[in-house]
Amino acid sequence: MSRRDERILLLGGFGRVGLEAARYLLENSELSLLLCGRRARALPEWMSAFGARVESRVLDVEDTAALDAACAASRLVIACVGPSGLIGDRVALACKRVGVPLVDAGGYDPLLHALEADEQRAAARAPLVINVGLLPGLSGMFPQWLIETQARGRAVERLDLAYVGRDAWTYHSAWDIVSSLGGFGEDRGFCYLREQQVVSTPMRRAMYKATFPEPIGAATTMLLYSEEIARLARTHAITEAHVHGANIGPRAALVCMLAKMLGWHASRSGIERGARWLVRASARDMRKLAPAYGIRARLRYRDGASDTALLTLTDTYRATGAVIALTAAALLEQKTPEPGVQLLHEAVPAVPFMARLREQGLVEIGRESAAGAVVAAGEVSA
């Protein structure tokens, strides 16, 4: 390999999300990929059609020297390794050391805070884009898109978001879900943002019933803290932001409730126990239910008007892979990408990003009228 190979390094490339990111890039670009995992794995049969554009290698991200060398020889790094709470900042700091762009599917608040602290020591020379998935990721990009396409310069006074998800979660996904129940180590309870201050509220006032198109329907969600939306609110000078979320598989939701009540999120052993339970529960949920994910975003302007839009999708892993791949492609298209630590909605323009995602047929977007009817997706435009 040369100092800067044209290939993209895809860590965790044999997981469900990694393979979907690889599929999108191979089918929709001319980019070449190097898929890496901790153990030797044969490439899936369908990849044979892409010949020399895709190769595989064994790479353990805990081997710092090998990780640095692989990152340094790549054009861009995609990280689909996890759980995020165990991987931490290993991959991000390797990319920072060698000055290579990063698209990280995970990380969440702990990685964001760790990298921001490290930026005080030395500024990154390349973009380090983290939390690039559905939640967080698309959960910040969608309201950003709504603001850009509908606000038209009007000041946004309040943002209300509700997001729900249901699938057979992998262990890595389940690990991060359980960890998130305790705010990734900073449990703020049920709260919302007002003037960038966290306002606590009792449980009885934290519930919100959000309505989505089928196969989701009505879902009871709970207030939660979102660093992603806090940053979005700060960028657009939004006075108040309420974020609600829920795991809408009934057995998975019960496990999350138990994990929260029993404090499993407070220790590694508890998180591991909760993750195992959640994997089994979500698998049982999906014997009778279809996978689904939805975001409901409502803007209320200072002039009293409002806009509401809904996004739904049914293939969560394929959509996550596409979001990651689109982010990587968008960064490579930028002549002078902004260096530093960024979230998805901060790193790439929202309108073309959402347009490309919709072109793939992976999401449905509708705008809700004042009477509660959902307008056809084609009528929601820039």
Same structural domain, 370 and 308? yes
Same structural domain, 226 and 278? yes
Asked whether residue 1 is domain-assigned, the answer is no
Coil, strand, or helix at residue 47?
helix
Same structural domain, 112 and 126? yes
| Residue (of 103, 1, 4, 107) closest to 57 by Cα position | 1
Rounded CA separation 134/142 (Å): 10
Asked whether residue 42 is domain-assigned, the answer is yes
Same structural domain, 331 and 366? no
Number of domains into which the chain is organized? 2
* CATH number of domain containing 254: 3.30.360.10
Asked whether residue 160 is domain-assigned, the answer is yes
Same structural domain, 151 and 254? yes
Same structural domain, 261 and 145? yes
Rounded CA separation 364/271 (Å): 33
Rounded CA separation 199/347 (Å): 28
Residues whose CB falls within 8 Å of the CB of residue 336, separated by 6 or more in sequence, listed in order: none
Residue-range definition of the domain harbouring residue 115: 8-133+318-349
What is the residue-level pLDDT of the chain in tens, covering all 382 positions?
A: 333 457 999 999 999 999 999 999 999 999 999 999 999 899 999 999 999 999 999 999 999 999 999 999 999 999 999 888 889 899 999 999 999 999 999 889 999 999 999 999 999 999 999 999 999 999 999 999 999 999 988 999 999 999 999 999 999 999 999 999 988 888 888 999 999 999 999 988 999 999 998 889 999 999 999 999 999 999 999 999 999 999 999 999 999 999 999 999 999 999 999 999 999 999 999 999 999 999 999 999 999 999 999 999 999 999 999 999 999 999 999 988 999 999 999 999 999 999 999 998 999 999 776 555 555 544 444 4
- pTM, entire model: 0.93
Asked whether residue 3 is domain-assigned, the answer is no
Same structural domain, 278 and 336? no
Cα distances (Å, whole numbers) of residue 297 to 40, 207, 280, 368: 43, 16, 31, 10
Asked whether residue 128 is domain-assigned, the answer is yes
Same structural domain, 161 and 117? no
Same structural domain, 144 and 246? yes
Rounded CA separation 151/303 (Å): 11
Residues in the chain: 382
Same structural domain, 161 and 201? yes
